Amino acid sequence: MLHCIGSLCGGHQSPSATLAGVPELPDIVAYIAALESRVVGQKLEAIRLASPFFLRSVDPPVREIEGRTVVGLRRMGKRIVFELDGGLFVVLHLMIAGRLHWKPGRAKIGGRTNLATLDFPGATLVVTEAASKKRASLHLVRGEEGLRAFDRGGVEPLETDEAAFHEALTRENHTVKRALTDPRLFSGIGNAYSDEILHRARMSPARLTKKMTEEEVGRLFRATRETLEKWRDRFVADALRAFPEKVTAFREGMAVHGRYDKPCPDCGTPVQRIVYADNESNYCPACQTGGKLLADRALSQLLRSDWPKTLEELEERKSNPPARGR
């Protein structure tokens, strides 16, 4: 029988150790704030592709985009949209490992991580992706109707009222963590900021939305706004001073995200996590779950009745791990 728990299992590595994290609403807004003063009113002179797979559309062609003036920027979920004259759009989705870099002059297109460059007068926006599996994408779009195809339908968390927030949250019966990160329900929230929102709301990521009380929904609504506004304002202020070059999902000052086994800043309890696929949910058991440990799906299926129910049981097993048997 397998006897291992969390970090006691060799090879049970946190995704935090390897993934940069998808830029979410605060990060995208900061990128846009940095770009506005640099590209709005400027001509997009050329798009150079280092990877042909980065461009996912065929109409309009690149040659029709080149030479157009950028008249505005907007965010659609986790996408950055460049609005050009003539009703054309450049839609950029950075996914997990995609990042933007502003370089003076005409930057070289070469480089192992480079995907493309957007050339402007006197400067270049370089798109990189530091991952072996390339997921970032660029779409060239004609007209507002074509642009609407990228709208997943989620409400804007910093623009909606509590009633619309409640309707979106309870439209389907999911865990609150899944609901917050569903782009059909909420726009721009991902793994990192959902962790921070739930910690601020003092709410378990496993709480089912259909069972939430009016008080809990109101608490979550306020925590969502406060968390996103806090990080947005901080990042925008930084972006107005210098182009954001170190965008990551793991920020200094976060309460729980990416802080597995580190002390909760509010109570000192070690932060715990649930690992699934390429993501993880980080939470404080004392602040959010009444001291209960949430079951990691993969490990709990293996350990079954041996899965610890409380932090005290977990710490006891870490101190006195049972011998491995066949």
Asked if 201 contacts 31 with a C-beta cutoff of 8 angstroms, the reply is no
Q: What are phi and psi of 203, to 5 degrees?
A: -135, 140
pLDDT tens per residue across span 60-73: 999 999 999 999 99
Each domain of the chain, given as residue ranges in start order, spans: 25-150, 162-241, 255-319
- pLDDT band at 45, cuts 50/70/90? very high
* Mean of pLDDT values over 35-45: 98
Quick one: how far is CA 176 from the chain centroid?
16
- pLDDT band at 246, cuts 50/70/90? confident
Nearest by Cα to 322 from 301, 308, 291, 270: 308
The predicted pLDDT at position 143 comes to: 97
pTM summary value: 0.86
More confident residue, 312 or 80: 80
Length of the chain equals: 326
More confident residue, 247 or 70: 70
The H or E element spanning position 44 is strand 43-44
- pLDDT band at 249, cuts 50/70/90? confident
Q: Above 50 in pLDDT, residue 14?
A: no
User: In angstroms, rounded to a whole number, what is the distance separating the alpha carbons of residues 308 and 281?
Assistant: 18
What does R_g of the chain's alpha carbons equal in angstroms?
22
More confident residue, 305 or 134: 134
The hierarchical CATH code for the domain 25-150 is 3.20.190.10
The predicted pLDDT at position 158 comes to: 97
162-241 belongs to CATH 1.10.8.50:
yes
Asked if 95 contacts 137 with a C-beta cutoff of 8 angstroms, the reply is yes
* Mean of pLDDT values over 219-239: 97
- Fill in the amino acid letter for 32: I
| 49 beta partners | 116
CA separation, residue 87 to residues 29, 118, 119, 120, 245 (Å): 22, 18, 20, 19, 30
pLDDT tens per residue across span 141-176: 999 999 999 999 999 999 999 999 999 999 999 999
Q: Above 50 in pLDDT, residue 17?
A: no
Q: Above 60 in pLDDT, residue 118?
A: yes
pLDDT tens per residue across span 171-227: 999 999 999 999 999 999 999 999 999 999 999 999 999 999 999 999 999 999 999
Average pLDDT, rounded, for the chain:
87
